[in-house]
Amino acid sequence: MILGSGDFAQNLLLRTEYHYLKDKDPAIKDLSRLYPYIISLRWRYAGGTLFLLLTNAFALLIPWFMKLAIEALQHPEVARYSPSTCALIISLLALLHCGTRIFSRTFMLNAARIIEFRIRNDLFQRLTRLDLSYFSTSRSGDIISRFSNDLTNVRMLTGFGCMSAINTVLIYCAAVTMMIRISPMLTFWAILPFPIMILIIKKVSHRLFHRSLQAQEELAHLSSQAEETVSAVRLIKSYCREEYFQDEFAKSAERYLKHNLRLARLRGLIIPVMAAATGAGTLVVLFIGGRLVIAQSITLGDFVAFSGYLAMLVWPTAVLGWILTLAQRGAASMSRLAGILGAESTVIDKPDAEPINSFDSGIAAVNLSFSYGDMEIIKGISLYIKAGETIGITGDVGSGKTTLLRLIARLLPISDGMLYIDGRDINSITTATLRRLIGYVPQETFLFSRTVAENIGYGIAGEHAADAVTIAAGQAGFLEDVEGFPAGFETPVGEKGVTLSGGQKQRLAIARAVVGNPQILLLDDPLSAVDAGREEEILNELGKFYAGRTVLIVSQKVSSFRDCDRIIVLKEGVIAEEGTPADLLLQGGLYAELCQRQMNADNL
């Protein structure tokens, strides 16, 4: 029986959406994602429903004992209970009503908090599993808005919304039953305005959902704009663009206000309609009920009890509009959350994928191609890199250098038969074990708001982690800088490494890549912000680390290629030149031109 009550709570939520939405909206499907969360907490919802039943039972008995008290005052000789006894019973019922109400709210609202907690964890877990293609089309401010505002709306739906919906159904069913018991004819006239009210609400609800969704989308845009502005505040100040961004934010805030005012006007229409229906019912009871009392068709006690039951319908009727608002806002928010929960990574392990534990044979690309949408970046590249070989990659901007490294690290999806690691198709290798073999320095350095040691040691653990961090810092030419910091390795780097210079960020990123002792090292323009003197020091240290490892280094600075066995020059997604540095210089091609330009720049 309790299980049925829990199922009733979930079914009530879904039925509410079906009845209020005019068309079969996609929000229905998105709301169904709440089912596993609610059914896992069915005992809490069942307990809350049970206490709601008790709460309403005690509330419904109060008007009945008021009826008995009035009849006892009128006809004390035939009264079952004295007025004082009825007063004591009413006081006891009020206390019990208060206690059970507390428990009903505790059960259901706690369940909503747990659902919020679980959805938040699932969202974060899903985000960490999605690949670069998802984040390239999503704004961080919008994602943060979904974690805060949209989750709050869903919590309100599964907590207050669910509790109020169940409570409203219980009160309507019980109160109307008691009213019919007193006078079926009076009950008919009292609730006659309510169907009209429901028809009007049904017309409004569809527009309410879409306006709620628009308001949530505009809030997400506003949050994203604020996040971007704060992140780029130094750039904004350097270009004196404060007023421009203030104007842009004001325009966004004005649009958000406009959507909320439209939503408020629509919600404001619901409350008067409900108040009118309730008021009309009260007028009917006063007019017709008074005539029935005069005609002695019902007693004065019946009239008081009937009025009490009708009064019990006033709050649930008013709350119905609030429930509708919660349902529509929750549905709109769940639609936005479903955009993350339903997103699928394009880089996934095949069912038959196996781990890779060593790297001995090298890396082979066979007619390798890759496109970002309709834009083809890499066009049929074929190459072989032996294990232990150091390869330099250069070329014009947009020639596919960074994309090639990302494909090797399997950060981007790739078709079968195009890329082989240690003689095995990269898609037949589990992603986690492949990435453990790789140390990767991306083109854009990102640092966490933690200490220097925590940023370098990111991804490693163990009793010797501190020693490994120190060694890695030395290999990256960063140890001298760390020793000059006030707290050494325990110095916080600030948000995104704001306390470090560009060169220090890059050296820290290199240290983070080598600390795990990877067999494959991918360096994407790692020395672009490093001065010439420090670059020589870093290259000397990295040259020692390169020994026995496969290294691919992307750079526009030919000085970074001094320890490379071969150079690959990319142009418009194809290999334009390939060979040893000496051979390419003799050819007098693109690489030779790049060297000459940099030599001329150094001589100026």
DSSP 197: H
Q: What are phi and psi of 566, to 5 degrees?
A: -140, 155
- 209 with 25: CB under 8 angstroms? yes
pTM: 0.71
Looking at residue 120, its amino acid is R
Angle (CA) 259-264-265 rounded to 5° is 100
The pLDDT of residue 50: 93
- 501 with 452: CB under 8 angstroms? no
- Packing angle, helices 300-312 and 314-341, rounded to 10: 20
* Tokens found for residue 294: 């005069």
Angle (CA) 565-571-576 rounded to 5° is 55
3-state secondary structure string across 367-423:
EEEEEECCEEEEEEEEEEECCCCEEEEEECCCCCHHHHHHHHCCCCCCCCCCEEECC
Q: What are phi and psi of 381, to 5 degrees?
A: -80, 135
How far apart CA 167 and CA 16 sit, in angstroms, is: 13
How far apart CA 88 and CA 553 sit, in angstroms, is: 86
Query: Among all chains, which residue has been given the structure tokens 């996609």?
Result: 26
How far apart CA 224 and CA 202 sit, in angstroms, is: 34
Q: Going along 119-210, which residue ranges are E strands?
A: none
Torsion, CA 512, CA 513, CA 518, CA 523, rounded to 10:
-170
The pLDDT of residue 405: 92
In which element (H, E) is residue 364 found?
A: strand 363-372
CATH topology of domain 388-412+427-603: Rossmann fold (3.40.50)
Alpha-carbon Rg for the chain, nearest whole angstrom, is 35
CB atoms within 10 A of CB 88: 13
* Tokens found for residue 79: 């009264």
Those residues with Cβ within 8 angstroms of residue 234's Cβ, 6 or more apart along the chain or in another chain: none
- C-alpha closest to that of 387 among 518, 519, 480: 519
For the domain made up of 2-223+254-341, the CATH class stated in words is mainly alpha
DSSP lists the bridge partners of residue 384 as 364
The pLDDT of residue 51: 92
How far apart CA 166 and CA 283 sit, in angstroms, is: 27
DSSP lists the bridge partners of residue 370 as 378
How far apart CA 27 and CA 568 sit, in angstroms, is: 51
Rounded alpha-carbon distances, angstroms, from residue 221 to 138, 141, 253, 342, 519: 11, 7, 9, 21, 43
Angle (CA) 339-343-346 rounded to 5° is 155
Residues of the chain scoring pLDDT < 70: 1-29, 78, 198, 201-203, 205-206, 209, 234, 238-239, 270-271, 274-275, 278, 318, 321, 461-464, 529, 532-533, 601-604
- 357 with 377: CB under 8 angstroms? no
First to last CA, the chain: 88
- 525 with 558: CB under 8 angstroms? no
How far apart CA 197 and CA 193 sit, in angstroms, is: 7
In which element (H, E) is residue 425 found?
A: strand 424-425
The pLDDT of residue 318: 65
| CB-based burial, 485-503: b 16+ in 10 Å, e otherwise | beeebebbbeeebeebeeb
How far apart CA 181 and CA 60 sit, in angstroms, is: 13
CB atoms within 10 A of CB 469: 23
Torsion, CA 78, CA 84, CA 89, CA 91, rounded to 10:
150
The pLDDT of residue 206: 65
- 451 with 490: CB under 8 angstroms? yes
- C-alpha closest to that of 377 among 342, 341, 405: 405
How far apart CA 418 and CA 382 sit, in angstroms, is: 9
Write down the domain spans for the chain: 2-223+254-341, 388-412+427-603
How far apart CA 198 and CA 187 sit, in angstroms, is: 17
- C-alpha closest to that of 331 among 163, 216, 203: 216
Residue 76's Cβ-count burial label (10 Å; 0-12, 13-18, 19+) is exposed
CB atoms within 10 A of CB 158: 30
